[in-house]
Structure 1
Amino acid sequence: MAIVIKATTREGKGTGASRRLRRAGNVPGVVYGGDKEAVSLDFNHKDLFMEFRHEAFHASILTLEVDGKKEQVLLRDYQLHPVRNTIQHIDFQRVSASEKIHVKVPLHFINADVAPGVKLGGGIVSHILTEADVSCLPKDLPEFIEVDLGNLEAGQSVHLSEIKLPKGVEFVQLAHENDAAVASVSKPRGGAASDADAAEGEAEGEAAAE
Structure 2
Amino acid sequence: MIFTIEAQKRTNTKHSELTALREQGLIPAVIYGKALESTPIAVKRNEFLKCYKKSFQELSFYEIILDGQKYHTILKDKQIHPVSRDFLHLDFMLVEATAMMEFEIPLQFVGEPIGVKTGGFLETLQRTVKISCKAEDAPEEITIDISGMQIGDSLHIKDLPQGNWQYKDNPDTALLVVLAQRVEEAEAPKEAEEVSTEEKTE
TM-score tier (shorter):
0.7 to 0.9
Following superposition, the deviation at residue 185 of structure 1 comes to 0.4
Q: Retained in 1: the 8 A contact 2:64–2:71?
A: yes
Same amino acid, percent of matched pairs? 27
| Aligned ranges 1:103-122 → 2 under 5 Å | 103-111=103-111, 113=112, 115-120=113-118, 122=119
Tell me if 1:171 matches 2:167: yes
CA 1:76/1:57 → structure 2, altered by over 3 Å: closer, same or farther? farther
- Count of residue pairs brought into register by the alignment: 184
Question: What's the counterpart of residue 135 of structure 2?
Answer: 138
Equivalent in the alignment of 1:79: 79
Residues 77-86 or 44-53, more deviating: 77-86
- The letter of the residue matching 1:162 is D
Q: Which residue of 2 aligns with 1:34?
A: 34
Name the structure 2 match of 1:97: 97
1:134 corresponds to which letter in structure 2?
I
Which of 139, 159, 162 is the equivalent residue of 1:162? 159
Contact kept? 2:56, 2:106, Cα under 8 Å: no
Answer 1 or 2: which has greater strand percent: 2
Instruction: Name the SS of the counterpart of 1:72 in structure 2.
Output: strand
CA distance in 1, matches of 2:58, 2:91: 12
Corresponding residue number in structure 2 for 1:207: none
Residue identity matched to 1:168:
N
Which structure has the larger Rg?
2
Q: Which TM-score applies when normalising by structure 1?
A: 0.79
Question: CA 1:58–1:156 in 2, change beyond 3 Å: closer, same or farther?
Answer: closer
State the match for 2:181 in structure 1: 188
Indicate conservation of the 8 Å contact 2:57/2:106, yes or no.
Answer: no
CA contact (8 A) 1:59 1:75 kept: no
- Give the helix-richer structure, 1 or 2: 1
Deviates more, 1:75-84 or 1:57-66: 57-66
Q: Which runs of 5+ in 1 are unaligned?
A: 192-210
Structure 1 CA distance for aligned equivalents of residues 40 and 174 of structure 2: 40
Aligned counterparts of 2:66 and 2:149: Cα–Cα separation in 1: 48
Q: Select between 56-65 and 22-31 the one with higher mean Cα deviation.
A: 56-65
Paired residue secondary structure (1:173): coil
> Which residue is equivalent to 1:19?
19
Q: C-alpha displacement at 1:2, in angstroms?
A: 2.4
Decide which moves more: 123-132 or 140-149: 140-149
